[in-house]
Amino acid sequence: EVQLLEAGGGLVQPGGSLRLSCAASGFTFSNFTMSWVRQAPGKGLEWVSSIRGSSGTTYYSDSVRGRFVISRDNSRNTLSLQMNSLRAEDTALYYCAKSHQNELDTISYWGLIDYWGQGALVTVSS
Amino acid sequence: DIVMTQSPDSLAVSLGERATINCKSSQSVLYSSNNKNYLAWFQQKPGQSPKLLIYWASTRESGVPDRFSGSGSGTDFTLTIRSLQAEDVAVYYCQQYYTVPLTFGGGTKVEIK
């Protein structure tokens, strides 16, 4: 059974930093792209960042590029998101998410998400 | 960026009746080399994480009831719930995975009339 367990959320002041982590289990972690998707209170879903399984290639939304850094440790089945220079508009529930595509597949569709964690709440406020 | 526009924002449907949600992308998400539409549908029930329902615009994820179906191609897509059940009350999102940034529609809230 796929499990994604986020940790590290909390209250932080504007301009501060926070690091989220996601412990993954139930699948071969290194074979799958992993992503962070956020949801502001009462709002819709917003993609934040993704990292490929084997190459480690990273992708970011314009709203976080230069402030957030996504990383992964395939030996520990862990995904991380280092969030710096946080703003009030970064307040959201941050979901760790797994790609449907096994990178051994011939077709590339890494952006399709099939499993989501329960989320880690990040509140940016003074 | 590909903008995903859903309609309506909300709808109320009687139990057992059909619910139809539309999603329009600002550019085609049909990849010509494999003839696949890079379009997914998610269901998010209150207080829960999103759940994948449909991908490739019309392929039902394993375990998803067959009352859920997806259709469309290119830029226009539809999610249909054939016979609405009480457990289908949720917000439904479309998402394109054709290119980055990955983008979602604004969501459609489905309620019981």
B23-80, pLDDT tens digit by residue? Answer: 999 999 999 999 999 999 999 999 999 999 999 999 999 999 999 999 999 999 999 9
- Residues of chain B with C-beta less than 8 angstroms from the C-beta of A50: 100, 102
pLDDT of residue A106 exceeding 90, the answer is: no
Interface test with A, best of B10, B49, B98 (most A CBs within 10 A): B49
Interface test with B, best of A37, A112, A118 (most B CBs within 10 A): A112
Predicted pLDDT at A54: 83
Q: Which contacts qualify for B11-15: CB closer than 8 Å, 24 or more apart?
A: B11/B108, B11/B109, B11/B110, B11/B111, B12/B110, B12/B111, B12/B112, B12/B113, B13/B81, B13/B84, B13/B110, B13/B111, B13/B112, B13/B113, B14/B84, B14/B112, B14/B113, B15/B84, B15/B85, B15/B86, B15/B112
Note whether A50 contacts B: Cβ–Cβ < 8 A. yes
Q: If you average pLDDT over residues A11-17, what whole number do you get?
A: 97
Q: Which residue of B has its CA nearest to A109?
A: B97
